[in-house]
Amino acid sequence: MSKQYFGTDGIRGKVGEHPITAEFMLHLGWAAGRIFSKENRGSIVIGKDTRVSGYMFESALQAGLVSAGVDVLLLGPMPTPAIAHLTRTFNASAGIVISASHNPYYDNGIKFFSGAGEKLGDGAEYAIEAELQQSITMVPSDQIGRVARVDDAAGRYIEFCKSSVPPEFNLVGMKIVLDCAHGATYHVAPGVFRELGADVVEIGTEPDGFNINEGVGSTSPSLLQVAVKRERAHLGIAFDGDGDRVIMVDETGSVVDGDELLYIIASCRSAEGQLVGGVVGTEMSNFGLEIALAKEQIQFTRVAVGDRHILLRLQSNNWVLGGENSGHILCLDVASTGDGIVAALQVLLALRQGQMGLLKARSGMSKYPQHMVNVECTEGADFNTPAVSAAISRVEESLGGNGRVLLRASGTEPVVRVMVEGHEIGIVRQLAEDLADIVKREVDK
């Protein structure tokens, strides 16, 4: 059964277009309150990123929640992983995040965390959607929920981030450029790294409600690259708008993506005898990561794109480390969800333990060139035809075992993503273009 509102990562869309409206958020708050209050009368925490629309949706959600008899704790602008942490800290029934992550300011969305600080399972999402089919019925006046603002939320989260590394760990003598994407980490990330002793240079820490992710952050690292070289910094760190992703820039100004950061953490932990099990990546993880981990005899497995799939596989394997090339990295031994600041600290811990810079640390992994082509198609178009299968076999034969082919339908656009990776970018590009032509012919039939 498909969901009407929940996608791969909550509910997301353009502000003012259903369901990203104040009216819907009121109904959603009521529906969520009804579901979560059945199990536990505990409060629900609400946090948001820095989009101007967040204030409107925060008000609508809390009105719906209290009308269902649920108490609400308002965290204000906070990173998504901070909301997960504070949901657990306050023993809340659930946490709500108002954010569209790395999207522009005119988009927004809602994500939920369970009382354990983890993304909701399908069952809870189906239950909320079923409740949304009902009309709002308010509890009696003596049962209306109460609302309180948590004034020390930022301080609590800063202390949590610092506790994710050993007490003796420090960043004294290290100059770091931080890019907070004018997003939810703007007021907490600088505090974390300064309190650990780093000399911090800030960019992307002046949100105005409209500039979130605009030319800054993990999806636009060019300003960070320039700043690292200009400031002669040891490295740069960039977060996305809601703080659950991180990428870095090494001392030469080169970008270090999520696959490379995941390799650095895994490699260090393995060398120290501290790696629990193996590593979980996704279908989009670079083949070079798989090869580099294999050389160090570290198990690696792939799942479908999305942190929820990574989390489920980590839990089923009793492993703790996984992530995506976008910089969404899970370290389940120190955080319950992907956390950009915590992941960055784990990389810095690896650098300190290995007594090396970021450039040297990443040198153990060689990324394979990738080329992706998006083939437009109608929703539900069948691209798994004999002709496509035969073409894939020919491409794999051409790669000779030193590369990969991936075809997948996008979860957000009416396209089929055709990706090829291998040693030579010229060959990879041509193979991907040829395969995409065959896929297009088949989906057009």
User: Can you tell me the mean pLDDT for 236-258?
Assistant: 98
pLDDT over threshold 90, residue 236: yes
pLDDT averaged over every residue in the chain? 95
Q: Which residues are catalytic?
A: 101
Second CATH level (architecture) for the domain 157-362 = 3-Layer(aba) Sandwich (3.40)
Do the first three CATH levels of 11-150 and 370-443 match, i.e. the same topology?
A: no
Read off the pLDDT of residues 91-125 as tens digits, 9 standing for 90 and up.
999 999 999 999 999 999 999 999 999 988 889 99
User: Can you tell me the mean pLDDT for 250-270?
Assistant: 98
- 310: pLDDT confidence band, cut at 50, 70 and 90? very high
As beta bridge partners, residue 415 has: 376
pLDDT over threshold 70, residue 412: no
pLDDT of res. 41:
65
Q: Round the CA-based radius of gyration of the chain to a whole number and report it.
A: 22
Torsion of CA 428, 429, 430, 433, to 10 degrees: 120
Q: Do the Cβ atoms of 258 and 323 come closer than 8 Å? A: yes
Cα(73)–Cα(27) distance, rounded to whole angstroms? Answer: 18
Phi, psi of 150 (to 5 degrees): -90, 105
Q: Do the Cβ atoms of 320 and 269 come closer than 8 Å? A: no
pLDDT of res. 63:
98
Cα(113)–Cα(54) distance, rounded to whole angstroms? Answer: 18
- The CATH label, of 2.60.120.380, 3.40.640.10, 3.50.50.60, 3.40.120.10, for the domain at 11-150 is 3.40.120.10
CB atoms within 10 A of CB 242: 34
- 7: pLDDT confidence band, cut at 50, 70 and 90? confident
Q: Do the Cβ atoms of 222 and 238 come closer than 8 Å? A: no
User: Can you tell me the mean pLDDT for 262-282?
Assistant: 97
pLDDT of res. 40:
65
Longest dimension (CA), the chain: 72
Give the homologous superfamily in CATH for domain 370-443.
Alpha-D-phosphohexomutase, C-terminal domain (3.30.310.50)
CA angle, corner 101, sides to 198 and 175, nearest 5? 15
Query: Could you check whether the bond before residue 190 is cis, i.e. omega within 30 degrees of 0?
Result: no
pLDDT of res. 306:
86
Task: Copy the structure tokens of residue 160.
Answer: 């949590």
Cβ burial, residue 312 (10 Å; 0-12/13-18/19+) = middle
pLDDT over threshold 80, residue 1: no
pLDDT of res. 2:
80
| Residue boundaries of the structural domains of the chain | 11-150, 157-362, 370-443
Residues in the chain: 445
pLDDT over threshold 90, residue 32: yes
Please report, rounded to a whole number, the percentage of residues in the chain having pLDDT higher than 90: 90
Read off the pLDDT of residues 170-195 as tens digits, 9 standing for 90 and up.
999 999 999 999 999 999 999 999 99
One-letter identity of residue 91: N
- 80: pLDDT confidence band, cut at 50, 70 and 90? very high
Q: Do the Cβ atoms of 277 and 304 come closer than 8 Å? A: no
pLDDT of res. 86:
97
3-class secondary-structure state, position 199: strand
